[in-house]
Amino acid sequence: MRRWGRGRRSACPPVRARANLAGTGFPDTAVWAYDGRIPGPELRFRQGDTARIAFANGLPEATTIHWHGLRVPNAMDGVPGPSQPPVPAGGRFDYEFPLKDAGTFWYHPHVNSGVQVAHGLTGAFIVEEREPIRVDRDLLWLLGDWRLTREAELAGGFGHPMDATHAGRIGNTVTINGAVRDRVPVRAGERVRLRLINAANARVFALDFQGHAPRVIALDGQPVTPHAPADGKVVLGPGQRADLVIDMAGRPGEGFDVVDGFYPRMAYRLTRLTYSAEAPLRDSPLDAPIALAANPLPEPDLAGAVRQDVVLDGGMHGAMPKNAGPRGPFWALNGVAAMNHQSMGHHLDPLITVKRGQTQVTAFVNETGWWHPMHLHGFPFRVLSRNGRPAEHREWRDTVLLGPRETAEIAFVAEEAGDWMLHCHVLEHQETGMMAVLRVT
Ligand code: C2O
Ligand code: CU
C-alpha cells in the first residue's frame, strides 16, 4: 500500500495468499487477499480528502471494488456494467472519489461476490471526522465468517442451493480482523471507540458486551443520537456497521465475555475483554461528549416524495419464482428474479426509475421466512418506520435488516444520476434473484 501527499494514494492488488485464521495448532488457509492481508489494508482518510486507489488485479479471475456506504460517483461504485467493465485478471483500475461523509465504511468486490468475499476480499474504509470525539483508543473489529474444513481449508460448494434457498453460506469460524481471537486486551478506565463491520457473506451477529454498557454513536457510518442498543445487544446484518463508545468499567485483572447470541441455541463467545493489571486510567468515566456531527446528507422531502415499494419473495418454504431452476433463481423483488452469478448489473432492466433530486419513500415488505439485509448503493436512507411503527432513531443507513415477515419503510433523495444496485447483502441471496437496479434519470 502506498500513500503520498494530500489525497493519499493507495494500491491494493488482490492476490492469492495464505493466512492463519483458525489459530495456533491449525494450518494456514489459502485465501484471496488485498495486499496479501486478511482483512485488506485499513484505508484511512480525512473527511474532505480525495481518495485515490490504484488497483491491480492479481487474482485468477475478474473483479472490481465496491466502496460500501460511501457516496461516490456512479462510475466509481464498482458495479460491473453500470459503473465500469470488470477488471480482468492482470488488469488495473484507478478509483478516485471525494470523501463527503465521515464514518466507518468498507470495501469488497462486486463480481462473483459470494465466492470472492468468502475467500477474504474485504477491508475497512475509515473516514475520520473533521472534529473527532475524544476517546483513548479507536478500535476496529472487522468480523469475518469462514466455512472451513477440519484441515482449515475453505470448504467448497459455493452457491449450493441448500445455502442459497436458506440463510446463505454461514460458516463455522468467526474472525476478528482475520483471526480467531480468544482475548482482546483493554485497560480499566479507558474509553474505546469500537468500530464494528460485518463483512460476512451471510451471518448475522447480536453482540452482548457482558459487564459493559456500550453506547451506539453511529450506524452504517452515519451518526445517530447516542443510545444504548435495544435489549443490550448490538445486531449487525451482513454489510452493516456500528460505532460504539465503551467505557471500560472493569477492574485490573478482570475479564468479560463478548457473546454472539443471534442464532437461538448457538450462542458462542466471540472474544473476551481482558483487563491488564495496570492501574485504572481514570476513576470515573471520561466526561466528554460522544455525539458525532452529522454528515452533509440531503434531507428527504417527505411531503413531495414518490412512493415505490419493494416486496421480497421466495426462498425455502416461500413462493419460488416461476423461472426457478435447480441453481435458481430462488428469490424475487416485486416478482422479478434477476438471475446472475456475477453480481453484475449490466443486463438488468431497472426495477424502479426515479428522477434526479426526487425524494423516494420505499417500504421493503419481507414476505419470506428468512432474514434479509437490504442494501442500496449511492444513497444513504433514513429508516422511517418498522412494522408500521415510527422508527425510534430515524437513523441513516445503507443496509436495513429485515426479519421474517417484517416491513421497513425508508426515505432517500436520489441525488446522483445513474443505475444503482439494490440487493440483499446475504450474497447467496443476491446472486440467486434478490437484486435489482434503481435508475435515476
Ligand atoms: Cu456491500 Cu452491492 O454491496
Ligand atoms: Cu436475503
CB of 421 closer than 6 A to ligand 1?
yes
Residues 90 and 204 in one domain: no
Task: State the cell numbers at 258.
Answer: 463478548
Residues 267 and 310 in one domain: no
Closest CA to 382 of 397, 401, 366: 397
Q: Does residue 285 belong to any structural domain of this protein? A: no
Task: State the cell numbers at 95.
Answer: 478509483
Q: Does residue 234 belong to any structural domain of this protein? A: yes
Ligand nearest to the CA of 377: 1
CB of 423 closer than 6 A to ligand 1?
yes
Amino acid sitting at position 282: R
- Residue numbers of the domain that contains 250: 137-275
Q: What is the pLDDT of residue 323?
A: 80
End-of-domain residue from the set 128, 152, 184: 128
CB of 375 closer than 6 A to ligand 1?
yes
Residues 253 and 160 in one domain: yes
ipTM of the complex: 0.99
Residues 399 and 340 in one domain: yes
Amino acid sitting at position 327: R
Residues 69 and 158 in one domain: no
Residues 397 and 346 in one domain: yes
Nearest CA to ligand 1 atom 1: 68
- Is the pTM of the predicted complex or chain greater than 0.90? yes
Instruction: Compute the distance from residue 285 Cα to the ligand 2 centre, in Å.
Output: 40
Ligand nearest to the CA of 66: 1
Q: What is the pLDDT of residue 380?
A: 98
Q: What is the pLDDT of residue 96?
A: 97
CB count, 10 Å around CB of 277? 8
Q: Percentage of the chain with pLDDT > 90?
A: 89
Closest CA to 329 of 437, 201, 436: 436
Q: Does residue 290 belong to any structural domain of this protein? A: no
CB of 241 closer than 6 A to ligand 1?
no
Q: How far is CA 53 from the centre of its chain?
A: 20
Residues 396 and 332 in one domain: yes
Q: What letter does residue 161 receive in the DSSP assignment?
A: H
Strands 310-314 and 331-333, sheet pairing: antiparallel
**Which stretch of DSSP H or E encloses residue 117?**
helix 113-118
Residue ranges of the chain with per-residue pLDDT less than 50? 1-6, 341
Instruction: Compute the distance from residue 406 Cα to the ligand 2 centre, in Å.
Output: 13
3-state SS of the chain: helix, strand, coil percent to 5? 5, 45, 50
Instruction: Compute the distance from residue 438 Cα to the ligand 1 centre, in Å.
Output: 14
Backbone angles phi, psi at 169, to 5 degrees: -80, 90
Q: Does residue 281 belong to any structural domain of this protein? A: no
Residues 366 and 401 in one domain: yes
End-of-domain residue from the set 89, 111, 128: 128
Q: Which residues have CB under 8 Å from 159's CB, separation 6+? A: 114, 115, 327, 341, 428, 431, 432
Give how many domains the chain has, as a whole number: 3
Instruction: Compute the distance from residue 426 Cα to the ligand 1 centre, in Å.
Output: 10
Nearest CA to ligand 1 atom 3: 68
Backbone angles phi, psi at 10, to 5 degrees: -130, 150
Residues 430 and 312 in one domain: yes
Determine if the peptide bond prior to 109 is cis (ω within 30°).
no
Tell me whether residue 156 is exposed, middle or buried, using C-beta atoms within 10 angstroms of its C-beta: 0 to 12, 13 to 18, 19 or more. exposed
Quick check: 343 and 424 in contact, CB under 8 A?
Answer: no
Tell me whether residue 251 is exposed, middle or buried, using C-beta atoms within 10 angstroms of its C-beta: 0 to 12, 13 to 18, 19 or more. exposed
Closest CA to 124 of 41, 53, 192, 66: 41
Condensed to tens digits (0 to 9), the pLDDT of residues 152-203 reads 999 999 989 999 999 999 999 999 999 999 999 999 999 999 999 999 999 9
End-of-domain residue from the set 95, 128, 161: 128
Q: Does residue 35 belong to any structural domain of this protein? A: yes
Ligand nearest to the CA of 106: 1
Instruction: Compute the distance from residue 98 Cα to the ligand 2 centre, in Å.
Output: 31
Q: Which residues have CB under 8 Å from 166's CB, separation 6+? A: 315, 316, 370
Residues 431 and 324 in one domain: yes
Q: Does residue 213 belong to any structural domain of this protein? A: yes
Residues 61 and 146 in one domain: no
Quick check: 44 and 133 in contact, CB under 8 A?
Answer: no
Residues 149 and 265 in one domain: yes
Ligand nearest to the CA of 116: 1
Q: Does residue 259 belong to any structural domain of this protein? A: yes
Q: Which residues have CB under 8 Å from 45's CB, separation 6+? A: 8, 51, 99, 125, 126, 127, 128
CATH of residue 154's domain is: 2.60.40.420
